[in-house]
Chains A and B, each alone.
Chain A
Amino acid sequence: MEVDVLKRVPVREQEPKVRAANFEEVCLGYNKEEAMAEATRCIQCKNPQCVKGCPVNIDIPGFIKELAEGNVGESYQVISRYSALPAVCGRVCPQETQCEAKCIRGIKGDAVSIGKLERFVADAAAEEGIQPEKAESMNGKKVAVIGSGPAGLTCAGDLAKLGYDVTIFEALHKAGGVLSYGIPEFRLPKDRVVDREVENVKSLGVKIETNVVIGKATTVDELLNEEGFDAVFIGSGAGLPKFMGIPGENANGVFSANEYLTRSNLMKAFDDTYATPISAGKKVAVVGGGNVAMDAARTALRLGAKVHIVYRRSEEELPARVEEVHHAKEEGIIFDLLTNPVEIHVDDDGNVTGMTCIRMELGEPDDSGRRRPVEVPGSEFTLEVDTVIMSLGTSPNPLISSTTEGLETNKWKCIVAEEENGQTSKAKVYAGGDAVTGAATVILAMGAGKAAAKGIHELLSE
């Protein structure tokens, strides 16, 4: 296969028109020939900048070198020394602002397609039945991990590799956290990717107990004092949805993105053989501009709706990944930018009949450095919709912080923890991920899980 060193090997995708009507994965990924060709574009920098751009510091040139030589198994073992979830990260990490943003190739031409290569290695290794390497012996110490999302799985995986006896407690009936309930099938296949990576973490000796709500069934203090755990990691995520507080928001047909996505992803409401219903809507407005908003919009589209994204700032400020916005547009999502909802119209039966919006313009920069959107007086108009999905972000669930003595939180109810080792205000208790930072990305949560595993190891090996 011929390679233009300035250009990345293109990746195959499902046609927009076809994929808009199915839940199959959008990006089809590289085959071995394409992956090996792309791998040759890496110039194996002596001082690799890409590694610095990665929140879990994967030896990127290392795994790419093995791949370029066709050694998939070796390449996988290089990655799995750093990451428990390569098939996930290869799909949902914002590589364009992390590793790939720092790639020397990117200065003149395209950066090496690091994410797609990572994805290929993880998928190919799984097909060959290759699993991460287990600890040689156990050290007899027990660690409890709360939450089986990216932070928890990473922390558990790292500790298990060091010989700890790790149990993950998951509140839902299925492991994976946001990877299972939040990110849709078409971006992150559940059986083929999420379940498999969870199995890989289990293959390291990690136990996962589902249906256990910490703070209700048992508490952090009980885990430490009664159940014999030497340390606890809290990776419970940021689960509580925000609403706008506008009139009509409790109408039938107004959902949080969490509810809409949970029904579709976790409960598989899009599949008729599952019992959970979903009111998909025919004309849907998704309020918000983040990755979750794109996921909700593209899910509604696949369930047969005409979908508008309603976002109060301009395209430049959209917090979603460029790739997601691009995919959404290709599939036919309509973007109503510089637009903000004012009121939701409700009929006598309590159903949504429309939404009044107002046009916005950008004023002076606010605290976030982005220009503040201001209403344009008299610009109200009505969007005829039967469904409104609020995707305005989430905040941490107070369930654990309110039932754990001596655990400090900040004014946003986030748990206070040291960045370098996850240590909280309470001895033997560590935390990381969205529970600490508020809603962020999968890879940042993984980075925090990794840092906490290191912190816990330092504590317990003293």
Chain B
Amino acid sequence: MYKILKKEYLANNIWLMDIEAPRVAKSCQPGQFVIVKMDEKGERIPLTVCDYDREKGTVTIVFQIVGASTQEMAEYEVGEAFMDFVGPLGCQSELLELTKEELKKEKLLFVCGGVGTAPVYPQVKWMKEHGIDVDVIIGARTKDILILEEPMKEIAANLYIATDDGSYGFKGNACDQINELVKNQGKEYTRVVAIGPMIMMKFVALLTKELNIPTIVSMNPIMVDGTGMCGACRLQVGDEVKFACVDGPEFNGHLVDFDQAMLRQRMYKTEEGRAMLRLQEGDSHHGGCGHCNG
């Protein structure tokens, strides 16, 4: 069993938890992910590593309530435990493969959206610890749903907040903010790392292709085992079919077929919605979901 040592509400149905998992904490790296299975009958849920403490043996996860399973997960309290917690899975961030000299030459821009801000955090922290200054954009629909602004501010050289409705920071989405920095302020970046909703990553990648800036994205498709066994997480990347769990989760954003990936993401949407309704309404659910014949 893997004990929950800390639980914190961030915003917008997004929760943070520290989990006691010494083997994972000992070896995980920014960019990798874990799989959580809450109990005997639970799903295997992939979540990106958001922080780790090798000495305490803890791993931080951040998740947003999007369906029945994540709803149930948010109901776990400190002191309770998840039945299964496996990792680290996938490859570490490819930036970690560069030498310090190579990294020094890079001008990095991290672009995060929504819950994707969480997996960006350990990467920026790692850069800071290795003496590399990086810029960060956090994009959100509105001010109230921003997460991790304060911790990110402490480690980023420049933190830019962009809100669609202009309620905080720059008015516009992440792409508008990139345009503002690159086109209007004349900032130069050698590489962009974008992590967030697929639709955001798609448009960031389209823009950076135009701007000719190499771009890494982190994919979080549907998975079952997370070790390369099932192929549920396959993606079209250029001419090749890749498995996000073992070949990724990071890929060249200019080569990923986002439209296909988004269709694949919707695979179980109806079933998830159904499970969500069952959970919310319990025995009082008598139809209306379109699937229960009620």
Contacts and interface: CB of A to CB of B under 8 A. Distances in A.
Interface of A: 171-173, 181, 210-213, 216-218, 239-241, 243, 245, 249-250, 252, 255-256, 258-259, 262-263, 267-268, 273-277, 279, 349-350, 397, 399
Given A216-B87, A217-B24, A276-B43, 12 more contacts: A172-B86, A211-B86, A217-B87, A239-B227, A241-B230, A250-B235, A258-B231, A259-B232, A277-B275, A279-B267, A350-B264, A397-B227
Given A217-B24, A217-B87, A275-B68, A399 B227 contact: yes
Nearest to B271: A277
Interface string B88-103: 1100000000000000
A263 B116 CA distance: 27
Given A210-B84, A218-B23, A218-B27, A276 B230 contact: no
A223 to B, nearest CB: 12
Contacts of A263: 224
Contacts of A172: 86, 225, 227
A256 B231 contact: yes
Nearest to B260: A250
Main secondary structure of the interface of B (DSSP, over half): mixed
B231 A217 contact: no
Nearest to B275: A275
A262 B226 CA distance: 12
Contact of A173 (B26, B83, B267, B272): B83
A397 B229 CA distance: 8
A217 B27 contact: yes
B246 interface: yes
Contacts of A258: 229-231
Contacts of B68: 275
A250 B229 contact: no
Contacts of A210: 84
B227 A250 contact: no
Contact of A250 (B85, B234, B246, B268): B234
Interface in B56-90: 68-69, 83-89
Given A210-B84, A217-B23, A279-B268, A259 B231 contact: yes
Nearest to B86: A211
A221 B232 CA distance: 31
B43 A173 contact: no
B230 A216 contact: no
A252 B264 CA distance: 6
Contacts of A212: 23, 86
A399 B246 contact: yes
Identify the interface centre among B88, B227, B264: most chain A CB within 10 Å of its CB: B227
B42 interface: yes
Contacts of B234: 243, 250
A106 to B, nearest CB: 38
9 contacts: A173-B37, A217-B86, A252-B264, A256-B232, A267-B43, A275-B42, A276-B44, A397-B227, A399-B228
A218 B231 CA distance: 24
Given A173-B37, A275-B42, A276-B43, A252 B230 contact: no
B236 A250 contact: yes
- Looking at B43, B88, B236, which has the most chain A CB atoms within 10 Å of its CB? B43
A103 to B, nearest CB: 37
Contact of B43 (A240, A250, A255, A275): A275
A252 B89 contact: no
Contacts of B272: 277
A272 to B, nearest CB: 10
A374 to B, nearest CB: 27
Nearest to A241: B231
Interface in B231-271: 231-232, 234-236, 241, 246, 260, 263-264, 266-268, 271
B105 interface: no
Contacts of A218: 23, 26-27
Given A243-B241, A275-B69, A350-B264, A259 B224 contact: yes
Contacts of A267: 43-44, 224
Contacts of A211: 84-86
B86 A250 contact: no
Nearest to B231: A256
Contacts of A249: 241
Interface string B3-47: 000000000000000000001101100001000010001111000
A220 B68 CA distance: 38
A274 B41 contact: yes
A276 B27 CA distance: 28
B229 A241 contact: yes
A243 to B, nearest CB: 7
B277 to A, nearest CB: 14
